Amino acid sequence: MTRSELIAAKLTSESTTVAVVPGGPVKGSIRPPGSKSLTNRALICAAFASGSSRLTGALRSEDTEVMIDSLRKIGIEIDESPDGKIIEIASPKLRVPTSDELVSLYIANSGTTIRFLTAALSAIGGNYRLHGVPRMHERPIGDLVAAIAPNLNGTISCESPGGCPPVLVRSKGWKGIEIEVAGAVSSQYLSGLMMAAPLCGKPTRIAVVGELVSRPYVEMTCRVIESFGAKTETVLKGLPAHQSIAFDISPAVDSEKIGYQGASYAIEPDASAASYFWAAAAITGGSVTVEGLTRDAMQGDVGFVDVLEQMGCTVEHHTSDTGGGITVHGGRLRGIDINMNAISDTVQTLAVVALFAEGTTRVRGVAHNRYKETDRIGDLARELSKLGAVVEEHEDGLSITPVGDHGHGATLQTYHDHRMAMSLSLAGLRIAGVRILNPACTVKTYPEYFSDLQTLIARPHHWESPGSLG
């Protein structure tokens, strides 16, 4: 069993609980680990590059480990430093499976891994079965498969109902120079196709049908692709009526399967992870600086500080001359009406901040959050209600109205969703007795989260074993 499979087994086992202990204003500074989104994008580009690459500031987590495991299985030579922050990728020696060979790739519950690899492997050719934990087999990938199928020299199919993994790929590469993909469920479908396009060895257009969610992640993809030598051009005019946007992608190297040039690439701290620490300042009236991120960061989730500013916080942006970073100073919080389509991974963080605001907070534009690691609208509403809030679900989001000054403690489910665990834990900064089940699920993207939070707030959490819960 691989390391990533052992991690996944841990997530489905009985777990301890953790409760963050209430206290005064949180003050301090912290540098979160590297961005998961950037690490997995850089791994894909470096794996199919001419020449070696060196990634610095990388994230070590379940999501990145399953990506690395899978790339190694197809012949990519990857070396990691002991802490996982430096990754060396050799010039690729691909092992494209023969017609009778099926490579099994285990991807746990990593959406980026299965979506990026499905696209890339279909482009280079070979026979693969990509599978994961039970929840992954409930997460839609049908729109990506439907986009690839008409342009594939071979076959691609989903094995679970509703267009969900496992995904079976039998390919001799792409045949088309234009691919259409629906954009309303996940921008990762588009990003995966964009990163796979240079592997065709010729210019390719990837066009979006209908609404595109989480566009900042697509802009991030463009910048990573260009860092490894490929070219991107955004097309907004002259498109058919059913297309909202398109991207013309050209390879860096005029050769099939090797579409990029090796590079040295520095990865920013994770902005989604940073949202928890900025939220800690907002919830407690404290002051927290996240180092290594600026308003010009590649990750759209730095925009979370602008949302906190609307709620009554003060935001201070530091220049590189003063060491960089973004500081949030807590203030008197008020409810807001906000469209969070562009920064949907921070919805759970905002929802917990809303528990301590005056008035109702309405979150809009995130219907696609129901198809993440868990239903991040319905399940989030259920857990917030346990704390005493009045929560109303909507098709595209939710409304949160606090009850009383402080709410009350409760034992909260995480649904094996790392973001549920990290965000809901913050309620404990103000409410006693908020116990988080299965805190180990943060290993998916941030294994050291509870340790880092404990260091920042300067007091220990309260841990309980399953047998002590009664």
Tens-level pLDDT at each residue, the chain (470 residues): 343 343 344 434 446 899 999 999 999 999 999 999 999 999 999 999 999 999 999 999 999 999 999 999 999 999 999 999 999 999 877 777 776 789 999 999 999 999 999 999 999 999 999 999 998 999 999 999 999 999 999 999 999 999 999 999 999 999 978 999 998 888 999 999 999 999 988 899 999 999 888 899 999 999 999 999 999 999 999 999 999 999 999 999 766 668 999 999 999 999 999 999 999 999 999 999 999 999 999 999 999 999 999 999 999 999 876 668 999 999 999 999 999 999 999 999 999 999 999 999 999 999 999 988 899 999 999 999 999 999 999 999 999 999 766 578 999 999 999 999 999 999 999 999 999 999 999 999 999 999 999 999 999 999 997 655 43
Phi-psi region of 222 (alpha: psi -120 to 50; beta: other; left: phi over 0): alpha
Q: What pLDDT does 40 receive? A: 98
Q: What pLDDT does 254 receive? A: 65
Dihedral pair phi/psi, residue 351, rounded to 5°: -60, -35
| Count of C-beta atoms within a 10 Å radius of residue 420 | 26
Q: Are the CB atoms for 149 and 123 separated by under 8 Å?
A: no
Is 248 marked active-site? no
| Predicted model pTM | 0.89
Residue 101, helix vs strand vs coil? coil
Marked catalytic residue, from 63, 345, 379, 417 = 345
The beta strand positions in 34-151, using DSSP E, are 49-50, 53-56, 78-80, 86-89, 103-106, 126-131
Residue 315, helix vs strand vs coil? strand
Tokens of 129: 């079965």
Q: What pLDDT does 404 receive? A: 66
Q: What pLDDT does 255 receive? A: 66
